[in-house]
């Protein structure tokens, strides 16, 4: 694989802090040089992800990101206690990332609330729609929103009705609260062989999500 795929793109787009985090997750010392660090992280990430035997016959940056994502989709589904989804060849890499992100958010949300079987089914169905072109455009991801909805109770009184004086608050579960449950995925007891890769994959997805949210917030500032 050329040295300019999504993995390289994300590693270059990541902040120093995000690259530092990835280095810690992958268990390597970051290089002081940014570009050298990008190569080092890509090498270690792919080496950790691929099958040991096959990796012997691969160049160090050859393992396709999609192969890693397909494994991560299965792992994320298992973590969310969903059945593994059908992933068509036509599904784009970013769609797979969206599914993983949803599954990850759902798993965290589920630990904090008693979700009914209907809610669980809806969240799974919602995440699966992200993998299909025809349905993803009209799709509102549920699990990420669920994280917010769970917190809405705590700040429910503050939601809405305050715009007149400029005080608006939306529901949210504090990061500190969900941190403990979201961290289950970081627990070595969970999928011991793939935890490192899944964490690193989530790190790369987080880079994209963070950049997308930043872009959205920038648009808001321009609009105002």
Partner 1 sequence: MKWNEYGEWLVPHEKWLSGLNDGTLKMNLPANRVIDAANGRFVGALVPGDGLVDELARLPLHPQPAMQVVEASKVLTQLKPALQALQLTSSIGALASVANLGVSCAGFALVLNRLSKIDGKLDDMLGKLDVLQQSVEQLHIKSDALSFARIRSAADSLDRSMAAEQESVQQDLARRARDLFQESRHYYLGLWNKTQPWTSARIPVRTALEMESRFVACGIGEIQAEFVLGDKGSIRHAIKSVASDLTKHFALDAPAALRARSDAAARSEGDEYAGFIVSMTTVSAEFALAAGAANHNSMRVSQFDQDVDMLEDLRLTPRQLVQVTRAADGPHLFLLRSQAA
Residues 146-165 that bind partner 1 (CB under 8 A): 147-148, 151, 155, 157-158, 161-165
- Roughly what angle, to the nearest 10 degrees, separates helices 195-223 and 93-112? 100
Give the per-residue contact string, 85-114, with partner 1 (x = CB under 8 A; - = no): -------------------xx--xx-----
Residue number with CB closer to partner 1 (1 or 95): 95
The secondary structure of 77-121 as a DSSP string is: HHHHT-PPPP--TTS-HHHHHHHHHHHHHHHHHHHHS---HHHHH
Nearer to partner 1, 49 or 207 (CB): 207
Establish if 189 lies at the interface with partner 1 (CB under 8 A): no
For residue 10, the number of C-alpha atoms closer than 13 Å in the C-beta half-sphere is 25
Which two structure tokens, joined as six digits, stand for 140?
């509102």
154, 171 contact by CB (below 8 A): yes
In the block, tokens 């809610």 appear at: 119
Q: Is 177 in the site for partner 1 (CB under 8 A)?
A: yes
Instruction: Decide: is 115 part of the binding site for partner 1 (CB under 8 A).
Output: no
Examine residue 222 and tell whether it contacts partner 1 (CB under 8 A).
no
Point out which residues bind partner 1 (CB under 8 A): 15-18, 20-21, 104-105, 108-109, 141, 144-145, 147-148, 151, 155, 157-158, 161-180, 182-183, 185-186, 202, 206, 209-210, 213-218, 220-221, 224
């Amino acid at each position: 694989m050329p040295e300019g795929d999504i993995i390289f793109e994300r590693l270059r787009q990541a902040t120093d802090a995000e690259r530092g985090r990835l280095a810690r997750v992958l268990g390597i010392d970051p290089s002081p040089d940014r570009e050298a660090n990008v190569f080092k992280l890509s090498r270690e990430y792919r080496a950790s992800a691929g099958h040991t035997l096959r990796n012997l016959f691969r160049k160090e940056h050859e393992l396709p990101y999609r192969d890693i994502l397909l494994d991560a989709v299965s792992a994320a589904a298992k973590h969310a206690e969903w059945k593994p989804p059908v992933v068509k060849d036509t599904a784009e890499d970013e769609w797979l990332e969206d599914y993983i992100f949803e599954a990850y958010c759902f798993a965290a949300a589920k630990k904090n609330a008693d979700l009914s079987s209907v809610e669980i089914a809806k969240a799974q169905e919602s995440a699966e729609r992200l993998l299909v072109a025809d349905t993803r455009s009209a799709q509102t991801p549920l699990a990420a929103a669920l994280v917010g909805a769970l917190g809405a109770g705590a700040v429910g009184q503050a939601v809405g009705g305050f715009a007149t004086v400029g005080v608006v608050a939306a529901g949210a579960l504090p990061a500190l609260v969900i941190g403990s449950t979201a961290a289950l995925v970081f627990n070595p007891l969970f999928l011991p062989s793939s935890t490192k890769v899944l964490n690193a994959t989530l790190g790369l997805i987080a880079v994209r999500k963070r950049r997308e949210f930043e872009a959205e917030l920038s648009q808001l500032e321009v609009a105002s």
